[in-house]
């Protein structure tokens, strides 16, 4: 938390660099700020060593074989294997009193390195001139030159974003390409003729929201602790009360993530990173959308946006052949990578595999049930119950604890899931078709 708060004055210092400063100076500032956070604030000499190892190996691979299809895959396998070793080390921690570790920074690094590797490959692949070889988005993010080592290392300060976002920020291209809307906060005219809008209002709104979230963490997590779900006293509660406890406990567990992501985004915005017409390009979570979403897709789209972006564009779509439809296997593989990225606690896999199946079932329900009944409150409540039931193992981590928490709640989420799947397997969609015709006729009238 101290690093997140300290990032604000450092970001203000960065904005005070002369507007015509050479990129090298900005890269060096970014690199030194990262080193200061790791070594001086956190004392993470070992952690910084691991960060540099993954970074330098990835840089060397792409510098040597940036035009080869195997190179980004090799980067992905190497950084995931390196991260896995860190996660294995975490298995020996006392989860109630863990030491300050670097796994979180390494998880962000995996996203940055794999996106960087594919961006460089897309900019150098032999068939890049073929209009069908790359999507419009891949062409936009492609890196068609070999970055210097200093530029590459400067990229690793801050949360997850893509290399082109960083270089456009350093060169001010982000502001040339998308000028601020009329009526926005006054900008600063640089001597390169670029208007950089004032980022302070947006940055300090994120700071205020993060500080407010810290108050919520103290108030909620102390009153609804996760371990209580394993106590006999919890099992003696009435079933509806147990469900309410799950909702409140999961909300309290989400709050620290809200705080960290909001503070990190605000610090980047203060430095001038994340502009795309508005200061919203680095938004990693939409708390209100998540807490009020009426289906799993809305919730998943509003949570950990950068990671979902990585999983979608660099795992999910890279596993799907061009022109083909994603399959259940693709979905399961993506959720498996997500679980592997999080670590090796069994609870991660129980949670993500359950959510992956629920997501596919929810897609069918949105297509067949939702048009027949527009009950917003009911959809919100069912969605929240489904999600929070599914992620209970994510909080408890261990197999026995996760199964015990599900068991005391009668495995209600899995029971409902099995019943819905059985309904559609036995022809339920056909039974609903006449009702769809009636609803369509009424809308036509």
**Do residues 33 and 11 touch, judged by C-beta distance below 8 A?**
no
Dihedrals φ, ψ of 294, to 5°?
Answer: -110, 5
Closest CA to 264 of 274, 254, 276: 274
Q: Record the tokens describing residue 19, joined without a space.
A: 């507007």
pLDDT attached to residue 438: 47
The Cα angle at residue 40 between residues 37 and 46, in degrees rounded to 5: 80
3-class SS string, 69-120? CHHHHHHHHHHHHHHHHHHHHHCCCCCCCCCCCCHHHHHHHHHHHHHHHHHH
Name the CA radius of gyration of the chain, rounded.
24
pLDDT attached to residue 129: 82
The Cα angle at residue 312 between residues 308 and 315, in degrees rounded to 5: 115
The Cα angle at residue 246 between residues 241 and 248, in degrees rounded to 5: 95
Which residues, at least 6 apart from 334, have a Cβ–Cβ distance to it below 8 Å?
311, 312, 315, 316, 319, 356
**Do residues 68 and 118 touch, judged by C-beta distance below 8 A?**
no
Phi-psi label, residue 274: left if phi above 0, alpha if psi -120 to 50, beta otherwise? left
pLDDT attached to residue 16: 87
| Number of Cα atoms under 13 Å in the Cβ half of residue 377 | 0
Which residues, at least 6 apart from 12, have a Cβ–Cβ distance to it below 8 Å?
270
How many angstroms separate the CA atoms of 92 and 105, rounded? 19
pLDDT attached to residue 321: 66
pLDDT attached to residue 173: 87
pLDDT attached to residue 202: 93
**Do residues 209 and 262 touch, judged by C-beta distance below 8 A?**
yes
How many angstroms separate the CA atoms of 46 and 39, rounded? 9
Task: Return the residue matching tokens 């972006």.
Answer: 309
pLDDT attached to residue 191: 44
Taking residue 413's Cβ as centre, other Cβ atoms within 10 Å add up to 19
Which regions in the chain score pLDDT beneath 50? 191, 437-439, 441, 444
Q: Record the tokens describing residue 227, joined without a space.
A: 């371990």
């Amino acid at each position: 938390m101290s690093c997140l708060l300290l990032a604000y004055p450092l970001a203000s210092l960065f904005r005070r660099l002369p507007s015509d400063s050479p990129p090298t100076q900005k890269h060096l500032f970014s690199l030194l700020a990262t080193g200061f956070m790791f070594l001086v604030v956190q004392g993470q000499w070992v952690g910084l060593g691991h960060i540099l190892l993954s970074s330098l190996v990835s840089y060397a691979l792409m510098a040597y074989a940036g035009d080869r299809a195997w190179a980004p895959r090799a980067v992905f396998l190497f950084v995931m294997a390196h991260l896995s070793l860190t996660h294995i080390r975490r298995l020996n921690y006392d989860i109630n009193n863990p030491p300050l570790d670097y796994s979180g920074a390494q998880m962000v690094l995996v996203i940055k390195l794999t996106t960087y590797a594919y961006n460089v490959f897309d900019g150098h692949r032999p068939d890049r001139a073929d209009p069908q070889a790359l999507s419009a988005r891949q062409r936009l993010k492609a890196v068609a030159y070999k970055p210097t080592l200093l530029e590459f290392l400067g990229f690793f300060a801050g949360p997850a974003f893509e290399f082109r976002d960083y270089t456009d920020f350093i060169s001010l291209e982000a502001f040339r390409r998308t000028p601020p809307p009329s009526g926005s906060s006054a900008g600063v005219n640089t001597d390169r003729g670029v208007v950089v809008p004032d980022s302070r209002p947006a940055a300090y709104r994120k700071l205020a929201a993060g500080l407010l979230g810290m108050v919520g963490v103290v108030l909620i997590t102390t009153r609804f602790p996760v371990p209580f779900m394993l106590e006999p006293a919890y099992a003696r509660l009435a079933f509806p009360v147990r469900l309410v406890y799950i909702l409140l406990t999961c909300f309290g567990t989400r709050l620290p993530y809200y705080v960290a992501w909001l503070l990190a985004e605000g610090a980047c915005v203060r430095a001038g990173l994340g502009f795309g017409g508005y200061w919203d390009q680095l938004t990693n979570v939409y708390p209100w959308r998540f807490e009020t979403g009426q289906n799993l897709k809305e919730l998943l789209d509003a949570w950990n946006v950068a990671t979902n972006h990585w999983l979608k564009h660099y795992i999910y779509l890279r596993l799907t052949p061009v022109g083909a439809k994603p399959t259940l296997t693709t979905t399961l593989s993506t959720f498996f990578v997500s679980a592997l990225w999080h670590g090796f606690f069994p609870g991660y896999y129980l949670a993500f595999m359950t959510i992956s199946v629920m997501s596919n079932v929810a897609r069918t329900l949105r297509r067949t049930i939702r048009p027949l009944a527009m009950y917003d409150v009911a959809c919100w409540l069912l969605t929240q119950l489904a999600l929070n039931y599914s992620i209970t193992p994510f909080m408890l981590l261990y197999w026995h604890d996760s199964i015990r928490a599900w068991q005391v709640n009668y495995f209600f989420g899995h029971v409902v899931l099995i019943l819905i799947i059985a309904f559609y397997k036995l022809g339920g969609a056909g039974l609903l078709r006449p009702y769809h015709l009636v609803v369509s006729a009424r809308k036509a009238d």
